[in-house]
Amino acid sequence: MKKKTDRKQLVAFNDPNSPVSEQFKTIRAGIDFSSIDSTFKTILITSPEAGSGKSTISANLAIVYAQQGKKTLLIDADLRKPTIHKTFSKNLYTGLSAVLTDEISLEESYQPTEVENLFVLTSGAIPPNPNEMLSSKKMSSVLEELQQQFDLIIIDTSPITIVSDALVLAPQSDGVILVTRFGSSLKERTKQAAEQIRMTRAPIIGAVLNGVTEKKSNYYYYAYK
Ligand SMILES: Nc1ncnc2c1ncn2[C@@H]1O[C@H](COP(=O)(O)OP(=O)(O)OP(=O)(O)O)[C@@H](O)[C@H]1O
Ligand SMILES: [Mg+2]
C-alpha cells in the first residue's frame, strides 16, 4: 500500500535506514551532545536566506526525535511561506494563526501524523501581520502551554535576513540551528544572520550546511559549538 506521507522530503520516515536518514540522526546526536548540561526542549530552525532547506531539515529532525520515543511537535511558524501542511498532507487552516486569533483552541490545533509520537501544528491561514502575531503575548503563552504537553518542539521559521519573524521567536527557544545551503549562502549574510541571532541571546546550538556534496548519499553536514 502506498504510504500517505510519501513526499520525498520525509526520507527519515520513508527510508529510515538510508544514509541521508543517518545524517539526521547525526544532527540529533550533535544537538543532544551539546545539551548535556541543559535540556533543549524548544529548537528553532532558521537560515540566512530562502530555500536553504529549513523545512526539510525541521521535518526530518522532528521525525528522528519522534522515532526516539520523544513526544514531538513540529510547528510551522513560517507564516509567510508555510509548507508543513503540504509535506504531511495536513489541514493548513487549523493551525497557529487560528490559535493566535482565538478561532480555535490549542487542543483543536495540532494534528497527529503517520509517524508515531509526532504531531504537527500547521501555520494556519497566512495572516497580514505575521511578525506581530509571532511576537505577541499570546504566542508566548501558547508556546509555554505546548512545552508542558510535549517533550520536544521544533519550530520552522522564515529566513532571518529577509524578515525578523525568527528573531522574535528565538528568545523563547532553547537554541537555534542555522541552516545554510552549500554554494548559495553567502559568507557575509551567514555571519550577519549569526550576529542577529546572537543579539537575541538565544544560543546557536548548531549549524547545518545543506547540500555539501552532489552525491545522493550525503546531503547534510552538522557542526556544533
Ligand atoms: N540537500 C538537498 N538536496 C536536494 N534538494 C534539497 C536538499 N535540501 C532541500 N532540498 C529541496 O530544496 C527545496 C527547498 O527546501 P526547503 O523547502 O526545505 O527549504 P526552506 O529553507 O524551508 O525554504 P523557504 O525559505 O522557502 O521556507 C525543496 O524542494 C527541497 O526538497
Ligand atoms: Mg520553508
Q: What is the CATH number of the domain that holds 46?
A: 3.40.50.300
In a domain, 109, yes or no: yes
What is the greatest pairwise CA distance in the chain?
49
* 81 Cβ inside 6 Å of ligand 1: yes
- Rounded Cα–Cα distance for residues 176 and 47 (Å): 10
Residue 219: per-residue pLDDT: 55
* 159 Cβ inside 6 Å of ligand 1: yes
In a domain, 3, yes or no: no
3-class SS at 222?
strand
In a domain, 131, yes or no: yes
Residue 220: per-residue pLDDT: 61
* 55 Cβ inside 6 Å of ligand 1: yes
In a domain, 182, yes or no: yes
* Whole-number CA gyration radius for the chain: 16
For residue 114, give its domain range: 11-223
In a domain, 177, yes or no: yes
Mean pLDDT, contiguous 10-residue spans, the chain (225 residues): 62 91 92 77 95 95 97 98 97 98 97 98 97 97 97 96 91 94 79 93 89 55 54
* 46 Cβ inside 6 Å of ligand 1: no
Domains of the chain: total: 1
Beta carbons of 49 and 184 less than 8 angstroms apart: yes
- Rounded Cα–Cα distance for residues 20 and 17 (Å): 8
Give, for ligand 1, the residue of 8, 27, 55 to mutate: max count of ligand atoms closer than 8 Å to Cβ.
55
Name the H helices within 76-205: 84-87, 96-100, 130-134, 137-149, 165-169, 187-199
In a domain, 52, yes or no: yes
In a domain, 108, yes or no: yes
Q: Looking at ligand 1, which atom is closest to the CA of residue 78?
A: 27
